[in-house]
Structure 1
Amino acid sequence: MGGDIALWMLGLLIFLILLGVHIGISLALCSALGVYLMLGSTEAALSILGNTAYEAIRKDVFAVIPLFVLMGDFISRSGAASDLYRVCDRALRRLPGRLAIATIAGNTVFAAVTGVSIAAAAAFSRIAYPEMKKVGYKQTFALGAVAGSACLGMLIPPSVLLIVWAILTEMSVGALFIAGIVPGIILAILFSAYVIIAAIRNPEIAPAFEGDTVEMTPAEIKSELIGGIGILFLILLVIGGIWTGVFTPTEAAGFGAIGALLIGIVKGMRWREIVDAIFQAGRTTAPIMFLLITAQMYSRLLAIGGAVNYIKALFLGMGVDPFLVIGLMMVIWIILGMLIDSVSIILLTVPIFAPIAATFGIDPIAFAIFGILVIEAGLLTPPFGLLVYTVKGAVPDPTVTLAQIFKGSTPYFLLILVAALLVLFIPALATWLPKLML
């Protein structure tokens, strides 16, 4: 009976989301109604859900999200992203499509201090796109480089999605952070290889130019050194601290936020900008925290009702090939990516998908990275790819259309799926570094 109720509540949850009810409200309503129907007591249902919410929010790991978001906001507002882009541009000046590759390289490094793809998309829409457009890059090609490479922010640590996944599955945040490094680098290499091949085959989409001949003033050199070295310092502090065991992820997030604040002050941030960054971090993380609380309630509903065991038994009883089930998960993730944001996708599916994957013998760390990659691809899928809308809103060009961004980002969407399949079939890409270092 409990399993049936849990499945009915899952159907009701999907129905409410399709009606446009906020996913957090939908999760809370379905969890409360489901537990009430199972227990037959309002008092017992409210007590269980209240304790679940309290136990969820009091975990130390929840502090990681606002601190990493704050670190990213400080870096974004300090202008360090612009410094990083210019450094990458000059370092890669001999490569075809160098500005697009500089965008990918900049996003790869920028991802290591933000953890949010939207921040990278917004920053590089204003920094990289105008530079590419100015020297004659084809509009769709330039837009695709910005939107596609921004996805790296969801994989390369620190990543909000990895933190959410770890919280839901009770995995180590540090292990998932380290696991995302190699696949993230592989994805960046795939993106860069595509740009180089495309630029060689059709030079008109990425004309060569000699932008490195422009003389820099001492002030510009100083600014770039501070921004570039500052970001590298933060990466060493945060990722290196977790890697070596000096910091827990929560401690690393705190020191990272302090380091980002110091970089911002040196770069000229004033009190008003610091306060705005703090408020923006709060506006970004408060909805995520609410979603995480309601997701824990939803997970408790599934646990009490035995829904996960019921679905596992259903698949195992049918004798379906495990990779067909994984393929179905990919399709569900991509379809959901067309409709809702990545955090919501994880909250809805991971409590069900992760135990099923474990039953099939798939390494939990490899499955987490595989899942994040597929969900990343959803950020670029029409009609509601979140990163596409972010680029459209941030890019300083009124002639840009959503269709152009979707078209330009399609190769990156496909390459993300390629990287996901590589991790699925070669789990060591994600697992060997955590096993080696942690």
Structure 2
Amino acid sequence: MSGVEIGLASLIGILVLIYSGLHVAITLAFVSFIGIWILRGDATQAARVMSLATRESISSYLFGVVPLFVMMGLVVARAGLGRDTFEVAGRALRRVTGGLGIATVAANAVFAAITGISIASAAVFTKVAVPEMIRMGYSPRFATGVVAGSSVLGMLLPPSLLLILYGILAEQSVGALFIAGIGPGVLLSLVYCIAIWMMVRFWHDYTGDPHEAQDLAAEGPHGRFDTINKLAPVLLLIALVLGGIYGGFFTPTEAGAVGAFGAVIIAAFKRRLGLRTLWEITLETGHVTASICFLIISATMYSRMLALSGLPAFLTEWVVAQNLGIYGFLACFVLLLILLGTILDSSSILLITIPLALPIAMSLQIDLIWYGLITVIAVEIGLLTPPMGLSVFVIKSSLDDDSIPIGEIFAGTVPFALMMLFVLVLCIIFPGIVTGLV
């Protein structure tokens, strides 16, 4: 077999093994080892390449940003800042048509700016927003669809773990990626809000018939002090982290450290974080970080195996020879990402596709920051599509209502997946949406 044939066979092997249930990191490491062994005809050399990849892949100072932002997100989720933000937004928008749905999007956008984890947003707002929306007369399909759709903002609005992962894989500035994520994130939030207003006004079969004329905050205090008390810590943390990065005071890694420390202080001040909870969060941070480390190590092994096979160079030459151009290549690439999203999670898609597609993007002289955001948006559409739909499964597992089947949640996400596709097309046609702030 030629090197290119071995590279193609490795792709098929990876998809088969992952779809069979084998962990992504183990799959990538195993296939990479076998591929290098076959290419070099020496198991010792394959082991040496894997050893070098293990040592070099996570030694970068930049990688310290991962556990720090993970810890900050976990502390914020445990401290109930998502619930506080939702209550304030719901109170402010209670007289607007579809106000509770718009409040869910607004709260999710704010929550995304201090967590960066879509799954955390889905879990938190399923508990907080879905019961309240159903109580107010919204249909379960619409309520869960709003939460699932707005949860993806966690991977667009900075800080975003998926953008960090792309930055590591593509060797791009994480700070620049964070800035580039603001435009698409804000645009998607606005599209969601406008669409929710229109759907609640004209599509009652889908949204239900909400009765939000009641005071949504009737069960809690209404005073200005309560609003400030709930919103000030969230805004302070956002200003601390993002203001520090964009103001040039911190690197992303330093901002992660400051943000994690600030989140602990705020949670402790609000008496929502004891020593036992802090220990549990620290352990969970270690588990998540170890898992991400293993993924990055395996992805580095896989990239080196592909480079040895010559498959990326072959694909680059083939794509250039087809005269697809930038937009033709992006159309094919986005379609591939969306299809992969039906069977794989977001991180797995990035780990498999970036080593192959990045050389092609570079040969076409595509701006890799713009390309990264397009990739992340396309990958995030997969969080809403069956049969994988990771956000949908998180919402189902977080619901306390067995009367809402998984199919009903998937049906609720369809309009929001289409809106994401619309925003993705706009970002491709008008690159300034992404690169304007950068």
What TM bracket, shorter-length normalisation? over 0.9
User: Where does 1:66-215 land on structure 2 (aligned, <5 Å)?
Assistant: 66-202=67-203, 204-212=208-216, 214=218
Query: How far has the Cα of 1:380 moved from its partner?
Result: 0.4
Q: Distance in 2 between matches of 1:100 and 1:322?
A: 37
Q: List per-residue Cα deviations over 1:219-260 (Å, max 9, x = no partner).
A: x97665344211111111111111111111110000000000
Q: Which runs of 5+ in 2 are unaligned?
A: none
Q: Tell me the equivalent position of 1:366.
A: 370
Q: Distance in 2 between matches of 1:141 and 1:411?
A: 10
Residues 292, 135 of structure 1: CA spacing in aligned structure 2 closer, same or farther, 3 A cutoff?
same
Do structure 1's residue 392 and structure 2's residue 393 form an aligned pair? no
User: Where does 1:7-406 land on structure 2 (aligned, <5 Å)?
Assistant: 7-202=8-203, 204-212=208-216, 214=218, 216-217=220-221, 224-268=227-271, 269-406=273-410
Q: Distance in 1 between matches of 2:364 and 2:395?
A: 38
Residues 396, 19 of structure 1: CA spacing in aligned structure 2 closer, same or farther, 3 A cutoff?
closer
Query: How far has the Cα of 1:28 moved from its partner?
Result: 0.5
What TM-score, normalized by structure 1, do the two folds share?
0.95
Residues 134, 2 of structure 1: CA spacing in aligned structure 2 closer, same or farther, 3 A cutoff?
same
Residues 400, 322 of structure 1: CA spacing in aligned structure 2 closer, same or farther, 3 A cutoff?
same
Q: Which runs of 5+ in 1 are unaligned?
A: none
Q: List per-residue Cα deviations over 1:299-335 (Å, max 9, x = no partner).
A: 1112222221110111222333543332222222112
Kindly tell me the number of residue pairs found equivalent between the two proteins.
433
Q: Distance in 1 between matches of 2:237 and 2:294?
A: 29
Q: List per-residue Cα deviations over 1:22-49 (Å, max 9, x = no partner).
A: 2111110111122222223222222222
> Greater CA deviation, 337-346 or 226-235?
226-235
* 1:415 partner letter: M
**Conserved in 2, the CA contact under 8 Å of 1:129 and 1:142?**
yes
* 2:422 partner letter: V
Query: How far has the Cα of 1:213 moved from its partner?
Result: 6.6
Q: List per-residue Cα deviations over 1:367-395 (Å, max 9, x = no partner).
A: 11111111111000011200000011112
Q: Distance in 1 between matches of 2:376 and 2:114?
A: 18
RMSD: 1.8
* 1:263 partner letter: I
Q: Distance in 1 between matches of 2:313 and 2:197?
A: 48
Q: Distance in 2 between matches of 1:18 and 1:74?
A: 33
Q: Distance in 2 between matches of 1:27 and 1:217?
A: 53
What TM-score, normalized by structure 2, do the two folds share?
0.95
Q: Distance in 1 between matches of 2:270 and 2:400?
A: 24
Q: Distance in 2 between matches of 1:284 and 1:221?
A: 38
* 1:275 partner letter: W
**Conserved in 1, the CA contact under 8 Å of 2:326 and 2:366?**
no
Q: List per-residue Cα deviations over 1:139-168 (Å, max 9, x = no partner).
A: 111111111100101111111100100000
> Greater CA deviation, 376-385 or 283-292?
283-292
Q: Distance in 2 between matches of 1:238 and 1:192?
A: 26
Query: How far has the Cα of 1:124 moved from its partner?
Result: 0.4
Residues 302, 388 of structure 1: CA spacing in aligned structure 2 closer, same or farther, 3 A cutoff?
same
**Conserved in 1, the CA contact under 8 Å of 2:87 and 2:217?**
no
State the secondary structure of the residue aligned to 1:319.
Answer: coil
**Conserved in 2, the CA contact under 8 Å of 1:288 and 1:343?**
no
* 2:234 partner letter: I
* 1:52 partner letter: A
Q: List per-residue Cα deviations over 1:248-297 (Å, max 9, x = no partner).
A: 11100000000000111012121111111112222223222211110011
**Conserved in 2, the CA contact under 8 Å of 1:156 and 1:181?**
yes
Q: Distance in 2 between matches of 1:221 and 1:74?
A: 26
> Greater CA deviation, 225-234 or 141-150?
225-234
**Conserved in 2, the CA contact under 8 Å of 1:80 and 1:224?**
no
Q: List per-residue Cα deviations over 1:46-69 (Å, max 9, x = no partner).
A: 222211111111111222111111
Residues 193, 229 of structure 1: CA spacing in aligned structure 2 closer, same or farther, 3 A cutoff?
same
* 1:267 partner letter: K
Q: Distance in 2 between matches of 1:276 and 1:224?
A: 30
State the secondary structure of the residue aligned to 2:437.
Answer: helix
* 1:253 partner letter: G
Q: Distance in 2 between matches of 1:242 and 1:198?
A: 37
* 1:244 partner letter: G
Q: List per-residue Cα deviations over 1:55-91 (Å, max 9, x = no partner).
A: 1111112221111111011111111111110111122
Query: How far has the Cα of 1:192 moved from its partner?
Result: 0.4
Q: Tell me the equivalent position of 2:432.
A: 428
Q: Distance in 2 between matches of 1:212 and 1:39?
A: 67
